[in-house]
Amino acid sequence: MLRYTAKRTGLAVLNLLIVMVAMYAMVFLVPGDPASVALGPRATPALKAELVTRMGLDQPIWRQVWNFFANAVQGNLGYDVWSGRPVLDQILEAFPNTLILGGVALGWALVLGVALGCLAVVWRGGVLDTLLGLLSVSMIAVPSFVIAIYALLVFAVWLNWLPAIGAGTAGDIGSQVRALILPSFAIGITWVGYLARLVRASMLEVMGEAHIRTARAFGLSEFRIVTRYALRLAIIPTLAVLAVGFGSILSAAVFVETVFSRPGIGTLIISAVAKRNYPLVMGTTLFMTAFYLFIVTAADLVIARLDPRVRDVFRGG
């Protein structure tokens, strides 16, 4: 397990390095220097020169790349062009909001999806099973910001049950939870049916395997068989999909945050792009990439724990 962990982590770090180089290339090696783009056409040469020095653009490329890497490793992602605040500070301030939103959305989608998937297996061919089949296909096709807009319209504007914008009053848990309901609903709902279908399909496959028959032959109850003997195997493909899906959940969060004017990484990136705040754009992208890789790697490790055959294949090869 230790060797497997080391291998997976190594791969993730390599991935991150490649992303950093590619990002650097995109921002700094394209024609037009970032300082003029950031300051606009009417900036004075003196102002530009000052920014160029501050961003280190007057140094040789290799030196710039090295500085960027060295700083990033030390947790310094540069400074905001406009306010001069450290980029990392702003990210760490906004990130918990996005994480909570994505996590809550994913959490309830997973719980509901797995439960519905299991029930669909128990009542195979029943009403729930059929309904799930229809809903999951149509729901996954709808973008979450569309759902966000309609949810906002219906529940916040017409019915006035839930707050339309913001993240709730700081310190007031009740208002924060209420502010989370609509956005997390908008993100999670597209996943529920999909996850349920996924769990159902892999559960049905597992229930047909010979070892399930053995468990039945020893008189174990169907409930115990589903939860202890089948679910652990059936959840594996779901976890793998979910880890990759977390990327799309985070990008959904970017849009949904904008719809609901929630503070978070989404609102941060959008305003940074609008103001040509390159260090902030780069820092945020890098941070989110690192986070995404962390999640995917963690999921890999969890899967290896759940299914010992996976890590043995790795150990052997």
Q: Is 205 in the site for other proteins (CB under 8 A)?
A: no
Stretch of 36-44, 100-108, 207-215, 257-265 lying at the interface with other proteins (CB under 8 A): 207-215
Residue of the chain from 155, 301, 306, 314 that contacts other proteins (CB under 8 A): 306
Residue of the chain from 150, 211, 261, 271 that contacts other proteins (CB under 8 A): 211
* 186, β-bridge pairs: none
Residue 245 is given by DSSP the state H
Residue of the chain from 3, 63, 228, 315 that contacts other proteins (CB under 8 A): 228
CB of 310 to other proteins, least distance (A): 10
Q: Is 23 in the site for other proteins (CB under 8 A)?
A: no
Spatial CA neighbour of 278 closest among 26, 8, 7: 26
Write the interaction track for other proteins spanning residues 229-248; mark x where CB under 8 A is met and - where it is not.
x--xx---------------
Q: Is 209 in the site for other proteins (CB under 8 A)?
A: yes
Spatial CA neighbour of 300 closest among 309, 311, 289: 311
Q: Is 219 in the site for other proteins (CB under 8 A)?
A: yes
Place of tokens 């791969």: 11
Q: Is 210 in the site for other proteins (CB under 8 A)?
A: yes
Stretch of 69-77, 164-172, 223-231, 263-271 lying at the interface with other proteins (CB under 8 A): 223-231
Question: Amino acid identity of 218?
Answer: F
Q: Mapping DSSP to helix (H, G, I), strand (E, B) and coil, where does residue 79 land?
A: strand
Cβ–Cβ < 8 Å for 191, 182: no
What tokens does 133 get? Answer: 């089949």
Q: Which is nearer to other proteins, 158 or 218 (CB)?
A: 218
Spatial CA neighbour of 291 closest among 255, 256, 235, 251: 251
Provide the b/e sequence for 212-240 (b: ≥16 CB within 10 Å). Answer: beebeeeeeeeeebbeebbbebbbbebeb
Binding to other proteins, residues 283-302 (CB under 8 A):
none
What are the C-alpha distances in Å from 37 to residues 83, 86, 117, 211? 17, 20, 51, 64
Q: Is 140 in the site for other proteins (CB under 8 A)?
A: no
Residue of the chain from 213, 223, 261, 273 that contacts other proteins (CB under 8 A): 213
* 79, β-bridge pairs: 86
Q: Which is nearer to other proteins, 31 or 219 (CB)?
A: 219
Q: Is 312 in the site for other proteins (CB under 8 A)?
A: yes
Binding residues vs other proteins (CB under 8 A): 209-211, 213-221, 224, 228-229, 232-233, 306-309, 312
